[in-house]
Chain A
Amino acid sequence: MANKISDEVIDYVSILAKLELSEEEKEQAKSDMGSMLDYIDKLNELDTDGVEPMSHVFPVTNVFRDDVVTNGDNSAETLANAPAEKEGSFQVPKTVD
């Protein structure tokens, strides 16, 4: 594996992804990420001069919806997924910005 992921990088990525990894998982993630970057390096060997960057895998554009209300009150279904509920809202730990 050409790409080596440092402990600092894996710790930073864990923070961004809100994941707490065990030492074992960290080693596994480091090796997985390293081989992903190796694969990207492989792609980079191709000459892409003059090739338009691809922004989507399907050659389709302009899929739109008309501005018409189609959904009604769906609160019961939405709140069915709430671990905790209060006054029709999701209850979460106090979050102040």
Chain B
Amino acid sequence: MSRQYETVIGLEVHVELATKTKIFCGCSTEFGGAPNTHTCPVCTGMPGALPVLNKQVVEYAMAVGLATNCSITQYCKFDRKNYFYPDNPQNYQISQLYLPICRNGGIEIETAAGRKTIGIHEIHMEEDAGKLIHDEWDDCSLVDFNRSGVPLIEIVSEPDMRSAEEVIAYLEKLRLIIQYLGASDCKLQEGSMRADVNLSVRQVGSETFGTRTEMKNLNSFKAIARAIEGERARQIELLEEGKEVIQETRRWDDNKEYSYPMRSKEDAQDYRYFPEPDLVPISISDEWIARVREAQPELHDEKRRRYCEEYKLPDYDAQILTSYKKLADLFEETVAICNRPKKVSNWLMVETMRLLKEHNMDPDELSFQPSNLAKLIMLVENQTINGTVAKEVFEQIFKEDVDPERYVEEKGLKVNSNADELYEIVRRVIEENPQSVEDYHNGKQKAIGFLVGQTMKATQGKANPGMVNQILKELL
């Protein structure tokens, strides 16, 4: 009889803040610049350079802390974490160990099993490291310090999660909160949100934790879920064989679906933290906290409730629309123009989602103007175009942000409601399809559908479907 195991998971989530400049110098944080173009003596660790804290970093960190129900450490400071690695030019990272800016919070997640609160142990501010690119050609590594000094917050959860599902729900909730605050775009693929998974297993009912490992290199929700399953299985196997789990940092290889111990981190995990002497402490007044709290925009949960009440949307719609800030923004801006909430919701939830999936895109990449969707909705409503044409026009809005009014005009897509013309076309369709006409007269109601289809085809989809139906019934 095999033993029952429980997985215990805590996360360390690094989020790159959306500031314009780095945490301690006036270099740009813009992503994708040519190597080392956003560098200066401060972020490349030159002797004698003096860091000065970016105020916006403190405000973003506080905003995230308040939105995740943390208490703010009103007297906080930075510490030095000492280690050698080529991506770290100072040979230390400025971080917070003793007095992190936010402590003791938590957020509520929702899974199939119900609601649950995941505790947040602390949130601290720190600087990112540079980027190492491995050059296979010359068997060397290349260092780009553009990312060195980009502000990060590290959100450390309590070991409150028990499954991959809970981990994903927690990460999605965090991402939503932070995106809504505008504190980061939280893109896992681009590395602006990174999660390290601390995982241990223990027998069900056990009060003590097992030995944990830390997994790095997880850059998608799917990779995180697979890594959790893989590491859980690996640890259980060790225990079943009577072996021990070793506390170590492991690198997840998503192609091989296996984690490997990280050798470079083996030698020394002694960071010899000490208070950062180049930076003065931060003193956060009650007034400052109140100001940040007041400036907090409407967050996800609140917005979801409001969509149901104010726009009378079903909760299902509200949940999908608010699951990406970009979608919610588009929704509100479009409704503000055309005042057709349910119609806007349908276009976003059905056609937009379908096209996003088809093009393998993220909602953040949507680039059409709300006014164009609003115009399209009105074109359908006042029967200038029919539903089939509308979908076709929407694809053009989605792809190239076309103005639907102009597009419909130029392509001649307006509904044909010219009775004389339609009579003529329907007569021809009837002549050409005697079999269907006979079927219809023999009681096959479906045959009329075929004839409507043929008429639509003859008009390139532009016929007013209501009129076609009426004319057909009349002529048959």
Contacts and interface: CB of A to CB of B under 8 A. Distances in A.
Contacts of B53: 63-65
Given A64-B55, A69-B26, A92-B140, A87 B35 contact: yes
Of the candidates B263, B275, B281, the one having the most CB atoms from chain A within 10 angstroms of its own CB is B281
Which of A64, A65, A96 gathers the greatest number of chain B CB atoms within 10 Å? A65
B464 to A, nearest CB: 56
Contact of B143 (A60, A90, A96): A90
Contact of B39 (A68, A70, A74): A74
A67 B140 contact: no
Contacts of B132: 95
Interface range on chain A (Cβ under 8 Å from partner): 35 or more
Interface string A55-97: 1111011111111111101110011010000111111111111
A40 interface: no
A58 B280 contact: yes
A90 B39 contact: no
Contact of A61 (B138, B145, B251, B280): B280
Nearest to A18: B84
B40 to A, nearest CB: 5
A15 B268 contact: yes
A16 interface: yes
B270 interface: yes
B39 A78 contact: yes
Interface stretch (B17-25, B371-379, B397-405): B17-25
A97 B27 contact: no
Contact of B37 (A66, A75, A94): A75
B78 to A, nearest CB: 10
A91 B86 CA distance: 10
A78 B145 contact: yes
Given A94-B140, A97-B251, A71 B277 contact: no
**Interface residues of A, dominant DSSP:** loop
Interface in B65-94: 77, 82, 84-86
B28 A64 contact: no
A64 B272 contact: no
Nearest to A92: B86
Contacts of A73: 37-38
A29 to B, nearest CB: 16
Nearest to B142: A89
Given A56-B77, A89-B36, A97 B141 contact: no
Contact of A89 (B144, B279, B280): B144
Contacts of A63: 52-53, 279-280
Nearest to B151: A67
A63 B53 CA distance: 7
Given A87-B142, A92-B141, A97-B265, A71 B28 contact: yes
B267 interface: yes
B40 A71 contact: yes
A30 to B, nearest CB: 18
A16 B84 CA distance: 8
Contacts of A67: 19-21, 54-56
Interface string B237-260: 000000000000001000000000
Interface in B189-236: none
A27 B471 CA distance: 106
Given A90-B143, A91-B142, 4 more contacts: A69-B28, A71-B27, A71-B40, A87-B142
The 3 closest A-B pairs by CB, nearest first: A70-B26, A89-B142, A64-B55
Interface of A: 15-16, 18, 55-58, 60-71, 73-75, 78-79, 81, 86-97
20 contacts: A16-B272, A63-B53, A65-B55, A68-B20, A68-B21, A70-B26, A71-B25, A71-B40, A78-B39, A78-B44, A78-B145, A86-B135, A86-B142, A88-B35, A89-B142, A90-B145, A91-B143, A92-B140, A94-B141, A97-B263
